[in-house]
Amino acid sequence: MPVTITATTIAKAKSDSGPGCRRHDIVDARSRGLSLRVSATGVQWSLRYQMGGKDKRLALGDVDLWTIAEARSIVDRAQLMLRDKMGVPDEAWLDRMRSAMGKAEAVTLAAPDPAPRQVFAWTFAEGREKFLAEVHRTRRHDTWKDYSWKLCGEDLKDLDGTPLPLITRQQLAGILGDIHRSGRETHAQNTQRVLSRFWNWLAEDGQAAKSGVQPGIMHGLKAPEPSLIEDDTDPEDPFGPGYVPPMTEIGRIVAIARSGAVHDTVAAALELMCWTVQRRRTVVEARRQDFEALGEGQGGLWHIPPRSMKSRSKKAKRRPHTIPLPPVAWAVVQRMLDVETDSAWLFPQIRARRQGEELTHINPSTLTHMLGWLPGVHASPHDVRRAFATHGETTLGLLRTDTAAILDHNPDARDVTGAHYALHNGTHRTWPIMQAWCSAVEAEIAGAAARLESAVAIKAAVTAARKNGGGRVLLAAE
C-alpha cells in the first residue's frame, strides 16, 4: 500500500537493509511510479512505469544520491514525458538528469536520442500484424501464408520489440546475410522480396503516421548474390529444376490415374492436369459450374474464372481463361460431374483436416505429393507444364504463341486489342492446339498401361513412399 515517503521512512528502510533482508518496495503515495527498493545490498530510488502495455523499471540510484523532493521531481518529469509522448526515461535520460541537477559530470552521448515519433511508432511485431492482416484481406491465402512464414520466422524474431523507424537497411541486410551464409540462399532472396514489400506498405499514406516509416528508406535492400555454380546440373538429381518429362512419363501418370491405384478424386485431378497443363491450384479450385458441355462426342470448354488465375490484373478479372477440352479430356470432367454430390467443387475435399471444418476442394499440395510418391514418375505439376511447352514446340510443331495461349492466364495484359476490342474466348485458335496435345498424350497411354505394375503394387509403393519419406521431394511451389 502506498505511503508518503519521509525522512523517517528512509531511515527505517536503511536499518532494514543488510544481510538477511528480503527485497521489497516502498511505494510513494505522492509521486506516481516512485518507490524505494529495499534489499540486502542497500536502498535505491526506483521509477516504475508502463509502455506498450508492459511494466518497466528504471533504477534512479542510491537513496542518498537524491533528496525526496529531487526524486519526486525526476519521476514527475518522466511521467509527464511519457504522457505527452516526448521520450522514454532510460539510462541516457537519467544521465542528463544527474548532470542537470549537479549530481554528475556532463555526459557526451555518442548519438542523439531517437525522436519521440520514432520511439512511439509501431514495433516490428505490430507493423507485421497490420501488414499481414491487409495481405489476408487483399491477396490469396497462399500468399498470406508465404508472407507470414517469412516475416514470423526465427531469423527476424529479435526485431519484434523494436520500433520500425529504428530498424535500418544495414540491419536487415545483415540478417539477410546471415540467412544466406547458413546455406538458405533462395530463402534470403525471398525474404528480401517480402521485407521490401512490407516496408513499402508501411510508408504508404494510410499507415505512415503510425509506422513512422519514411518512403524509400529500404530502397536498395538486397540479399547477397547467389553462389556461383559452374554446372547447374546435379548428377545425383537429374530430375531437379528444369526437368522436362518425356511424353512416356505423361502417359504413365494418366495410366496410373486410370488404374484404380489412386483415390478417384485425386486420380481425376491428376488426369485433368495432364490433359490441360494448368497450374495445380487452378485444377483443384475448378467448380462444376465452370464447365460447358458441347454435345455428344464434341468435348467441352473449361471457363477458368479470374479468381483461379495467377494474375490479379484488372484486365484478367473481367475475362475468364477458356480451355478447350477434346473428348478424351472431357471424359474426366464428365466422370466427376456424374458423381452425386452437394459440393460445388469438381474435386471435393475427401476429408477435413480438422474436425468441424467445412469441406472445400482437395489441397493443391495433394497433387504435388502424389506425383512425388508415384513409382516411376519424376515430374512435378510444374514439370508437366514444361513438357507441354517443350514437346509442343519441338515435336508437335506448335508456335510459342500457341503454347502461351494455353499456359498464360493473362494474354491480354500487353494486348490492347485483346483487352478491349476482340472480346471472344479465342477457342477458334486454341482447339487445334489442345487437340494436338491430347492426341500426343493419348498415344502414350496404351503403351504405359501395358508396362504398368498391378494396382496393388502401385498402392503399396505409394504407401511406402508416404510413410517412409520415399519418392522425390517436390517443392510446394511446383
Fold of 7-113: Double Stranded RNA Binding Domain (3.30.160)
Average pLDDT over residues 4-29: 91
- Tens of pLDDT, residue by residue over 102-148, are 877 544 444 455 555 555 679 999 999 999 999 999 988 888 999 99
Measured CA distances, 389 to 366, 374, 437, 466 (Å): 24, 23, 10, 30
CATH number of the structural domain 124-211: 1.10.150
> Regarding predicted confidence, which is higher, 232 or 41?
41
Reduce the DSSP state of residue 28 to 3 states and report it.
Answer: strand
Query: What is the rounded distance in angstroms from the CA atom of residue 316 to the CA atom of residue 125?
Result: 34
- Tens of pLDDT, residue by residue over 444-477, are 999 999 999 999 999 999 999 988 765 554 444 4
User: Mean pLDDT across the chain, nearest whole number?
Assistant: 86
Q: What is the pLDDT of residue 87?
A: 81
Query: What is the rounded distance in angstroms from the CA atom of residue 66 to the CA atom of residue 190?
Result: 54
Q: For residue 430, what are the β-bridge partners?
A: none
- Pairing mode of beta strands 34-39, 42-51: antiparallel
Quote the longest CA-to-CA distance of the chain: 103
Residues of the chain with CATH 1.10.150: 124-211
Residues of the chain with CATH 1.10.443: 247-468
In this prediction, residue 418 has a pLDDT band, given cuts at 50, 70 and 90, of low
* R_g over Cα of the chain: 33
Q: Express as a percent the part of the chain with pLDDT over 70.
A: 85
Average pLDDT over residues 60-74: 90
Average pLDDT over residues 348-376: 85
In this prediction, residue 200 has a pLDDT band, given cuts at 50, 70 and 90, of very high
Average pLDDT over residues 231-251: 74
**Which region holds residue 28: left if phi is over 0, alpha if psi is between -120 and 50, else beta?**
beta
Is residue 423's pLDDT more than 50? no
Give 247's contacts (C-beta < 8 A, 6+ positions apart): 387, 391, 395, 440, 441, 443, 444
- Tens of pLDDT, residue by residue over 283-342, are 999 999 999 999 888 999 999 998 777 655 444 446 789 999 999 999 999 999 999 999
Three cell numbers written together for 151: 516475416
Is residue 64's pLDDT more than 70? yes
Q: What is the pLDDT of residue 86?
A: 79
Residues of the chain with CATH 3.30.160.390: 7-113
- Pairing mode of beta strands 291-293, 300-304: antiparallel
Q: Identify the helix (H) or strand (E) that includes residue 335.
A: helix 327-337
Is residue 436's pLDDT more than 70? yes
Is residue 90's pLDDT more than 90? no
DSSP letter for 279, please.
-
Q: Find where cell 519418392 sits.
A: 471
Q: What is the pLDDT of residue 476?
A: 41
Three cell numbers written together for 467: 510413410
- Tens of pLDDT, residue by residue over 20-56, are 899 999 999 999 999 999 998 899 999 999 877 788 8
Q: Find where cell 487445334 sits.
A: 432
b/e map 35-63, b = 16+ CB within 10 Å: bbbbeeeebbbbbbbeeeeeeeebebbeb
Q: Is 324 exposed, middle or buried (0-12, 13-18, 19+ CB in 10 A)?
A: buried
Average pLDDT over residues 95-105: 80
Query: What is the rounded distance in angstroms from the CA atom of residue 370 to the CA atom of residue 357?
Result: 23
Query: What is the rounded distance in angstroms from the CA atom of residue 349 to the CA atom of residue 369?
Result: 15
Query: What is the rounded distance in angstroms from the CA atom of residue 205 to the CA atom of residue 203?
Result: 6
- From 20-34, 79-93, 323-337, 390-404, the region with the lowest mean pLDDT: 79-93
Cβ neighbour number for residue 437 with a 10 Å cutoff = 27
- Tens of pLDDT, residue by residue over 217-226, are 888 899 999 8
Q: What is the pLDDT of residue 113?
A: 53
The sign one gets for the Cα dihedral 93, 96, 102, 103 is: positive
Average pLDDT over residues 415-423: 48
- Tens of pLDDT, residue by residue over 155-181, are 999 999 999 998 999 999 999 999 999
Q: What is the pLDDT of residue 473?
A: 46
For residues 35 and 72, is the Cβ–Cβ distance under 8 A? no
CATH number of the structural domain 247-468: 1.10.443
End-to-end CA distance of the chain: 64
Q: What is the pLDDT of residue 315?
A: 42
Three cell numbers written together for 196: 521490401
Reduce the DSSP state of residue 297 to 3 states and report it.
Answer: coil
Q: For residue 48, what are the β-bridge partners?
A: 57
Question: In terms of Cα–Cα distance, which of 139, 190, 157, 163 is closest to 131?
Answer: 139
